[in-house]
Amino acid sequence: MSSHLASKLREGTKKAHTMAENVGFVKCFLKGVVEKTSYRKLVSNLYFVYSAMEEEMVRLHDHPVISKIYFSELDRKESLEKDLHYYYGADWQEQVAPSPAAQAYVKRIHEIANTEPELLVAHSYTRYLGDLSGGQILKGITQRGMNLANGEGTAFYEFDAIADEKAFKDMYRQTMDGLPVDEATADRIVDEANAAFGMNMAMFNELEGNLVKAIGQMLFNTLTRRFTRGSTELVTAE
């Protein structure tokens, strides 16, 4: 049975993908505007999302659909823990909590895992293939935006167990095309993938307000320093 699921997902989520890229937080990020407080909150939210997704996929390892698209080399929970340790310190677990949008995302993952497990394919596709496709670019932006040394706070983007990311993505898409799902189920998976993009956008929108405040504070501090310096120079000149 072939539903051409990979092609359906690619075509069926184009609009949602474009919308996600045009969220203010993402646009700023892609332009190199990376603010530490907002970014580490994103890492925190992603930790809860991936923890839920990977917990359910392991639990469903014998499921006729999930068993075929779960690859442990894609797991992000451990790498996110490393990044959280870097950004928050050794007691990071006591400091992080999912935002309202992340809570809704996690709730949805557990819900479908118990009612329609095959829909987890949509979340796997949306997150993991996106991570593999743009990971190195996003890693570079993160490093430059926060002046990070190589390896600091960017473990999330590293797939050490995957030697050839392009070959892996090709294999993953071929596997999706061969999943034992009918056309109606494939359509529901595409719908769920669009919903997953929406849940990601909700997390980004939460962070946008924090980013605007942070940028505003940085500009205020810069102007204050310049004003103070100018006042001092004026007094000195007199």
Please report which confidence band the pLDDT of residue 57 belongs to, taking 50, 70 and 90 as the band edges.
Answer: very high
Q: Which long-range contacts (CB under 8 A, 24 or more apart) does 103-110 make?
A: 103/48, 104/199, 104/202, 105/45, 105/48, 105/49, 105/52, 105/199, 105/200, 105/202, 105/203, 106/48, 106/49, 106/52, 108/195, 108/199, 109/49, 109/52, 109/53, 109/56, 110/52, 110/56
Q: What pLDDT sits at residue 229?
A: 58
**What is the domain partition of the chain in residue ranges?**
5-211
Residue range 5-211, CATH number: 1.20.910.10
The answer, yes or no, to whether residue 210 has pLDDT greater than 90, is: no
The answer, yes or no, to whether residue 56 has pLDDT greater than 50, is: yes
The answer, yes or no, to whether residue 202 has pLDDT greater than 80, is: yes
Please report which confidence band the pLDDT of residue 1 belongs to, taking 50, 70 and 90 as the band edges.
Answer: low
Q: Give the tens place of pLDDT for each residue, 113-171.
A: 999 999 999 999 999 998 998 888 899 999 999 999 888 999 999 999 999 999 999 99
**What is the rounded average pLDDT of the residues 173-187?**
95
User: Is pLDDT larger for residue 224 or for residue 202?
Assistant: 202
Q: What pLDDT sits at residue 224?
A: 52
Q: What pLDDT sits at residue 208?
A: 81
Specify the range with the lowest mean pLDDT, choosing from 32-36, 62-66, 92-96. Answer: 32-36
The answer, yes or no, to whether residue 234 has pLDDT greater than 80, is: no
Q: What pLDDT sits at residue 212?
A: 52
Please report which confidence band the pLDDT of residue 33 belongs to, taking 50, 70 and 90 as the band edges.
Answer: confident
